[in-house]
Chains A and B, each alone.
Chain A
Amino acid sequence: MRSTNRSHARRTALQAAAFLVAATALLAPAQQPAPAPSAPPVVPSSPTSRFVVVLDAAHGGDDSGARIDSGSEKDVALALSVKLRSLLAARGFQVITTRESDATLDAVHRAEIANRSGAQACLSLHATESGSGIHLFASSLTPAAPTRIPAWKTAQGGFVTRSLALAGVVNSALQHANIPVTVGRTALPGVDSMTCPAIAVEIASAASCQQPRSPAPPIPPTRARLLKLSPPHCSSGRRRHASRDTSLSNGSLS
């Protein structure tokens, strides 16, 4: 049973990786025309001319994260990061990873790597046993105008609007695949310091993903609801399940 769950978890992770690639590819034309899927990877003349994606495999080293079956969150996140990196690189994206091995990395270092990359998308990869489907989170910081020298702990505030747009694109791609998605906003140490459109992607346990889901609602209302989450003073964490009409919650930070 446990091995069945693990194989389902791997399958879900691979599915998620494939659709995250698709979602990132959807976002790319806004910055630069994406290369054709069948075309060989384009070697750019300069790194800045390519669409840069940062993959941040959460935890690592001494920090195992959540326990998942007999494994740990750090291993699932690293496996997903490696798979995503190869899929994205094959499509011509420039991929920067925060870790390639079981190394300890604090939130400050992760954000530093992301901020130096000048990335157009930063994905913080997580896994958990609780909940179901895939959870997408953008920062719950108040949207603010980007500044040249932002405060470290609230640097993501200048990119929250673009992060929400990225979450909306990924959400749409996952919904097209009938993968249940929960979209929310939260306060994550690391992501809140990133100066790039950033989201956290959390893959929930496979067992709950096996449950049949009703068809996903139309996409435009989903994005519209997601993008109008921010009251003027505070940001809000509004959650919505793709397959059910659920109650909502808001979470805010100052």
Chain B
Amino acid sequence: MGVVLWQLRERAHQRLITGQNSTPTQAPEVAPPKKATFLVANDADSSLLGQEQILPLPQDPGARARLILGKLLDIYAASNALHPVPGGAASIEEVFLLPVPSSETSRPTSSRPASASRPPTEDSTGPQLAVVNLSSAFVAGHPAGIETESLTVLSLCGTLHANLPRVAQVRFLVDGQPRATLAGHADLTRTYLAAGAVSPEGAQQ
């Protein structure tokens, strides 16, 4: 009886192994390199300067936004950065793209956290609200000051809008929760208008 059971188990195991095909059926998608624009802050003259890089960018807008903002923060984390902020790409935990609620466009702020469960609006053509979820480590390490914090916020908003023109508004969360300020000054409870962060005079090719 035991032998029969052992044989049945072996047969079932063989069937399972043969059913699994480890050969890749679909080649991994390599995103084509595209031009990304970064509005890089400069503490020395309080400016945002446009920089362009060719990067492989994912098709999904949310993933693309996260990657681009991560690259921007990598620039700030470099040793010779003009706007030094520690943290790098890991500081962007997630970027959610949501349709701009028409009833909230003129409302100043609500303290409720943005819903991450709402579906992205890739099919619509309307303006989008980007909710950028920052890590608490990034906020804890950010230099304090009105100017430096404002530059970081404007840089993030402007870079988002430069690469995703449908992003009209930006809000910030820290570890998924609303937070009063970035490092004691810049208000993070507000909804920032992303389009206003881009100045044609400020974007240098």
**A and B from one assembly?**
yes
| Bound: A73/B147 CA distance, A | 14
How many chain A residues sit at the interface, stated as a range, is: 35 or more
Q: How far is the CB of A11 from chain B (nearest CB, A)?
A: 20
* B145 and A234 contact, CB distance less than 8 A: no
Q: How far is the CB of B110 from chain A (nearest CB, A)?
A: 10
* A200 and B144 contact, CB distance less than 8 A: no
In the complex, what residue of chain B is closest to A240 when comparing beta carbons? B46
Q: Is the interface of A mostly helix, strand, loop or mixed?
A: loop
* B190 and A253 contact, CB distance less than 8 A: yes
| Bound: A154/B109 CA distance, A | 9
Cβ proximity bits A165-202 to B, threshold 8 Å, 1 near / 0 not: 00000000000000000101011110010000000101
* B201 and A248 contact, CB distance less than 8 A: yes
* B157 and A251 contact, CB distance less than 8 A: yes
Within 8 A of B (CB), among A225-243: 231, 234-239, 241
Whether B196 is near chain A, meaning CB under 8 Å from some CB there, is yes
Whether B47 is near chain A, meaning CB under 8 Å from some CB there, is yes
**Residue of A59, A184, A187, A248 with most chain B CB atoms under a 10 A cut-off:** A187
* A130 and B197 contact, CB distance less than 8 A: no
Cβ proximity bits B141-170 to A, threshold 8 Å, 1 near / 0 not: 001111110110110011000000000010
Whether A244 is near chain B, meaning CB under 8 Å from some CB there, is yes
| Bound: A241/B147 CA distance, A | 12
B: number of interface residues (CB 8 Å): 46
| Bound: A253/B170 CA distance, A | 9
Select A129's contact among B39, B143, B195, beta carbons within 8 Å. B143
Whether A99 is near chain B, meaning CB under 8 Å from some CB there, is no
Whether A118 is near chain B, meaning CB under 8 Å from some CB there, is no
Contacts known (A153-B109, A247-B202, A254-B105); A202 close to B197, Cβ less than 8 A:
no
Tell me the B residues contacting A by CB distance below 8 Å: 39, 43-49, 105-109, 143-148, 150-151, 153-154, 157-158, 169, 180-181, 183-187, 189-193, 195-199, 201-202, 204
Closest 6 CB pairs of A and B: A252-B196, A128-B145, A66-B144, A252-B193, A187-B187, A249-B48
